Structure formats: C-alpha cells, structure tokens
Structure 1
Amino acid sequence: MTWKMKEVVLAVILSVICGVIYLGWSTLWLPISSLVGPVGAGFMFGIWVIASPIVAYIIRKPGAAFVAEVAAAAVELLTGSHFGLSALLVGVFQGMGSEIAFAIFRYKRYNLLTLMLSGALAAVFAMIYNLLANGFGYYSTGLLLTTLGIHVVSGIILGGWLAKVVVDALAKTGVLEQYAIMKERRKKGDINGHVSGL
C-alpha cells in the first residue's frame, strides 16, 4: 500500500509531538527513578511506545507503527535525550514489536485488543534490546521477569489503551475525517444501517 502525502505529513507531525513528549518523559524519569529505583519507575515505560499505536490506529497501513516509533525516538535523540543513541536504538526494537501486533492480524484489525498487544510486544522487544545492549548477566531471573512484567502492563495501559483514548478524542473533533480510521467507521456505519433497516 502506498502512502498518501497527507498520511506522511500526519505521521511526521504526530511522531514529532510524541518525540518531544518522550524527551519530557525521559527528563521526568530521572527524579522518579531516583526515588523508586529503575524497576519501580518501569511503570512509566508505556508512554515511550505510544507513537506506534496512535499512528497505526489512524493511518492503518503496514509499516505505520514501526515508522512512527523510530521517528519519535529520533526526535527524542535529536532534542537532547540523556539516553543518547540508545533512545533511537531501543525505538527501533520497540517499533518492530509494535508493528508485529498489527501484522499478526494482517493489518485488518485495529481495536483495543490490537493496540494493547502493540504496547505489550513493544515492551518485550525493548527488553530484548536491553539484554543485547547490557548483556544477559545484567539481570537476575527475578529482576528480569519483574521488570518485563511492569513494562508489559505499562505498555498495555499507557501505550495501547491511552493511544485509543487519545485518537478517539481527536476523531470526535473532526480533524481525522480524511484518514482511514474515519473512512472505516463510516463504512461500518453504513453496513450497520443497512442491516438494521432489513
């Protein structure tokens, strides 16, 4: 599927916005992690993967989730993230995990379950990156499972569920009328109207 120019523009705008949010979230992570520790601060993880489900939910095309996450991570890096290059590298892994969630359903299902799965798989792939970057001896088994569990839950809630809330709110304003999300909703509305009229 080829992307229309308006889809590219929207994806860029949303990715930049998310990237700036990522930077602010990264800055907030420092004092919180010093208070509760890096594992405890894991509840913040989900915000760092929200670009993928937001853009994919609106545009509904292969590659949207991956491109959005990598672009947002690049913006975070270029705007001065203290995580440095790892902000971009983990973004690549998170984008791959998120993209897989939509690929599993052949890019035909964009409901809450799929968006939550997107956040969960982004967390799993982020952990794969952490293991590769830090070495497999970096985590004890208990610490690994605890951290992964917190990240997955956060990815489901702050990544997937919150993405749906944000996009649904945007849809109500009418700004998404020209995108796939609204076209599919109108199509379903027509189908339901015909069925109810039988």
Structure 2
Amino acid sequence: MNWKIKEVVLLVVLSVACGVLYLGWSTLWIPISALVGPVGAGFMFGIWVIASPIVAYIIQKPGAAFIAEVAAAAVELLTGSHFGLSALLVGVFQGIGAEIAFALFRYKKYNLPVLMLSGAIAGIFNIIYSIVANGFAYYTTTTLVTTLVINIISGMLLGGLLGKLIVDMIAKTGALDQYAIRTSTRTKDGQNDFVVRQ
C-alpha cells in the first residue's frame, strides 16, 4: 500500500511532537517514581505509546503504528532522554505490540476497542522488553504481574482512549479531512468509531 507525501509528512510531524512529549513525560516520571516507586509510576506508561494509536487512527495503513512509535522513541532519545538507548529499543518493542492489534483485524478496524487493544498489547511488549533487558530475576512474581496489569490498563486508557479522543477533537476542526480517518464510515450504533470502508 503506497503512502502519500502528506501522510508521511503528518507521520513525521506527529512523531516529533509525541517524541518531545515522551521526553517531558520521562522527566516527570523521575520524581513520581521516587514518590510511589517504579511499579506505582507504571500508571504513566500509556502516554509513551500514544503515537501509535494517534497516527494509525488517522492514516489507517499497515506499519503506521509501528513507524510512529519507533520514530517518536528516536526523537525522545535524540532530545536527551535519561533512559538513553533503551528509549529507542523499548520503542521498537512497543511499536510491534501496537501494530499487532491493527494487524489482527487486517487493518480494517480503527474503532475504540481496537485502539485500546493496541495500547494494551504495547503494554505487554513493554514488559517483554524489560524481561529481555533485565532478566526474570529482576522481578518477583507479584511485581511482574502487577506491573503488567498496570501497563495494560494504562496503555488502554492513556494510549488508546486518550489517543482517540485527541484525534476526534482534531478531526472536528476539519484539519484531517484529507486523511483516511475522514473517508471512513461510522459504525451503525452511531458512536464515533471508524472502520475502513469495505
């Protein structure tokens, strides 16, 4: 599926914006993590995957979620993330997770459940990266399960749900009229959930 220049430009712009957001969020994570601990601060996770549902929802093409997340993570790294190279590596894992949700539906559904699923699977892959990087011994069973559950919930809410709300607000202004999101059709229940035309 060919990408249009305007889609590539939008992906770059949104990825840069999300990357800067990720950097600021990473900075905020430090004092919050110090107060409530890394597990407690896990509720912040979802913001770090918001690029995927936002870009995928607007452009609705294979690879959009993955590319957006990796590009945003690269921007976070290059703008001075204290996480260093791991910011990019975890972005790759999260991008894969986010992309899987859309692939499961053959890139034909971009409604709220699918966007939230994208955030949830990105949360799972975030934990997979952590296990690969740190080993199972890094976690107790309780810590691992708790962190996984928090990541999934946060990914669903701050990634998928919030991402959809942001895009829907932008779409109402007419700024996205030239993109796939506006050439989609509403679901029969009247909700603002879009699916690609068959």
Separation in 1, partners of 2:93, 2:6: 26
Q: TM-score, normalised by structure 2?
A: 0.93
- State percent identity of aligned pairs: 75
Query: How far 1:185 sits from its partner (Å)?
Result: 3.5
| Partner-residue secondary structure (3-state), 1:137 | helix
- Structure 1's unaligned 5+ residue stretches are 189-198
1:58 aligns with 2:82: no
Residue identity opposite 1:48 in structure 2: W
Q: Which residue of structure 1 aligns with residue 139 of structure 2?
A: 139
- Give the C-alpha shift of residue 179 in structure 1: 0.1
Q: Distance in 2 between matches of 1:10 and 1:185?
A: 21
Q: CA deviation at 1:136?
A: 1.2
TM value normalised by structure 1: 0.93
Structure with greater helix share of residues: 1
CA distance in 2, matches of 1:48, 1:157: 12
1:182 and 2:182 matched: yes
Residue 79 of structure 1 corresponds to 79
Distance across 2 between alignment mates of 1:80 and 1:179: 32
Structure 1 residue 155: Cα displacement: 0.3
C-alpha RMSD of the superposition: 1.2
Q: Does 1:90 align with 2:90?
A: yes
Task: Tell me the residue number matched to 1:69.
Answer: 69
How far does residue 167 in structure 1 lie from its aligned partner after superposition?
0.2
Structure 1 residue aligned with 2:169: 169
Alignment match, 1:31: 31
Q: Whole-Å Cα distance in 2 between the matches of residues 20 and 185 of structure 1?
A: 32
User: Residues 99-120 of structure 1, C-alpha deviation per residue, up to 9 Å, x if partnerless?
Assistant: 0000000000000000000000
Q: 2 CA distance for matches of 1:98 and 1:104? A: 11
- The 1-side partners of 2:91 and 2:74 are apart by 8
Helix, strand or coil at the partner of 2:184 = helix
Secondary structure of the structure 2 residue equivalent to 1:81: coil
Tell me what 1:49 maps to.
49
Q: 2:16 is matched by which residue type in structure 1? A: V
CA distance, structure 2, for counterparts of residue 36 and residue 141 of structure 1: 19
